[in-house]
Amino acid sequence: EVGMNAQDLGKLLHREPAEIVKKLFMLGVMTNQNQSLDKDAIELVAAEYGIDAQEKVHEDISDIDSMYDKLMDESKQSKHQVKRPPVVTIMGHVDHGKTTLLDRLRHTHVSAHEAGGITQKIGAYQVRIDDKPITFLDTPGHAAFSNMRERGAEVTDIVILVVAADDGVMPQTIEAIDHAKSAKVPIIVAINKMDAPGANPAHVTEQLMKYNLIPENYGGETIFVNISAKTGENVDELLQMILLQADVMELKADPTQKAIGTVIEAHLSRGRGPVADLLVQQGTLHTGDPIVVGNRFGRVRVMTNDRGRQVEKATPSMPVEITGLNDVPESADKIVVFDDEKTARSVGEQRAQAALQHARENVQHVTLDNLFDTM
Ligand code: GDP
Ligand code: MG
């Protein structure tokens, strides 16, 4: 069960958490902002503000984003945390080799070791080096990264900045650096196209240092690897460096709790209905789990891993594809597991209704604005 604390209650009632804590104190309840409150305490405070607590508590359940945040915070403090694989996004200027690198990783490090090979593309896949997995998001470029971040989804642990050795720092290189920095995600620089005739990695390094990406041998902390996505030169080295960076970051998750995660992409399949590619971030997702995904709901019917194999459970940092939702969710939607399907359904329906209402209001706004614009 997700308990509500003074902070949550403050959010709901549009009051400062400190005010809630003070109110509780006056009512004889000693608590801090983070401590879970019991039902009686919640009702007491709500009554003080002239609010029917029953109704408000229900509304809180439907706030998937705060449930997700809360579960994320809880798992970060859990004693059951274990190491989890890093989640990596590849960024960089157009034509610098992002897709080539992703394809190489997919083919040399995934399918070659798997009987049957890759059968389908899902939004992310895991690569293994020395038997240690690394999760790659399969959508290079900045739009996907920005869209995720704008919607509060922080799934990327490490950014690989691909810079062509024969072209150097370009506008989208700088944009990628800005994105990663504002997301506080560490960058590993992959100077690509080392096989190309005009390759000049020293020049590229010099350029990057102006953006505060300083390699270790210049006294900085940024990992630089010279690679060729085309020939495969040093690609294993790059993977090793990702693991090294991940170790430094001590990435952990608690696989014992109910899963939370984020949708990477989703679509409607003619035969299978709504299909969502998602990344489990905390906990373990099981087949049969009742879930709310954004404004959608359902039960995990069939779960498939990045090798196209059916699986019964998905652990942290594992990308899976699921079916069983009532409708197609959106990328960056949050996933929360509920105790029973009935609650999941009612929360999902409530959210869909609210979203519809919101959309209607927005359409009206736009229409009015347009009207004034054209007058
Ligand atoms: P993206 O736009 O960043 O996804 O770049 P692509 O992966 O599509 O690569 C753009 C072009 O650069 C393609 O023609 C690739 O074959 C080529 N390319 C990518 N990596 C390398 C490399 O390591 N060496 C050389 N010589 N060419 C590469
Ligand atoms: Mg590409």
pLDDT score of 149: 81
- As a whole number of angstroms, the distance between CA 316 and CA 282 comes to 5
What pLDDT sits at residue 152?
75
Strands 187-192 and 223-226: parallel
- Centroid of ligand 2 to alpha carbon of 252 (angstroms): 31
Give the pLDDT score at 41: 84
pLDDT at position 40? 81
Please indicate whether residue 140, judged by its CB atom, sits closer than 6 Å to ligand 1.
Answer: yes
- Please give the model's pTM, rounded to 2 decimal places: 0.80
Q: Which residues of 334-361 are buried (b: 16+ CB within 10 A; e: fewer)?
A: bbbbbeebeebbbbbbbbbeeeeeeeee
Note whether 324 and 348 are within 8 A (CB). Answer: no
pLDDT-flagged residues of the chain (< 50): 1, 56-57, 111-119, 371, 374-375
Question: Please, are residues 363 and 355 in contact by the beta-carbon 8 Å criterion?
Answer: no
Q: What are phi and psi of 85, to 5 degrees?
A: -65, 150
Q: Residue 240 and residue 252: Cα distance in Å, rounded? A: 18
pLDDT at 63: 82
Q: Which of 244, 236, 285, 246 is nearest to 263 (CA)?
A: 285
CA dist., res. 164 & res. 160, Å (int): 13
The residue contributing the CA closest to ligand 1 atom 17 is 97
Could you tell me the CA-to-CA distances from 211 to 89, 196, 245, 253, 326 in Å, in that order? 19, 24, 20, 32, 46
- Ligand closest in space to the Cα of 101: 1
The answer to whether 95 is a known ligand-binding residue is yes
Residue 321, φ and ψ in degrees, nearest 5: -110, 135
Q: CA-based Rg of the chain, rounded to a whole angstrom? A: 23
Atom of ligand 1 nearest to the CA of 196: 26
Who contacts 195 (Cβ-Cβ below 8 Å, separation ≥6)? 228, 230, 231, 233
pLDDT of residue 52: 60
Residue 187 Cα to ligand 1 midpoint, Å, equals 20
State which H helix or E strand residue 58 sits in. Answer: helix 53-61
d(CA 42, CA 4) in angstroms, rounded, equals 8
Does residue 139 line the site of ligand 1, with CB under 6 A? no
Residue nearest to atom 14 of ligand 1 (CA): 95
CA 189: distance to chain centroid? 22
Which of 91, 95, 233 is the best mutation target for the ligand 1 pocket, counting ligand atoms within 8 Å of the beta carbon and taking the most?
A: 95
Task: Note whether 123 and 265 are within 8 A (CB).
Answer: yes
pLDDT at residue 1, rounded to an integer = 42
What pLDDT sits at residue 28? 87
Q: How far apart are CA 4 and CA 61, in angstroms?
A: 10
pLDDT in tens, 284-337: 999 999 999 999 999 999 999 998 899 999 999 999 999 999 999 999 999 999
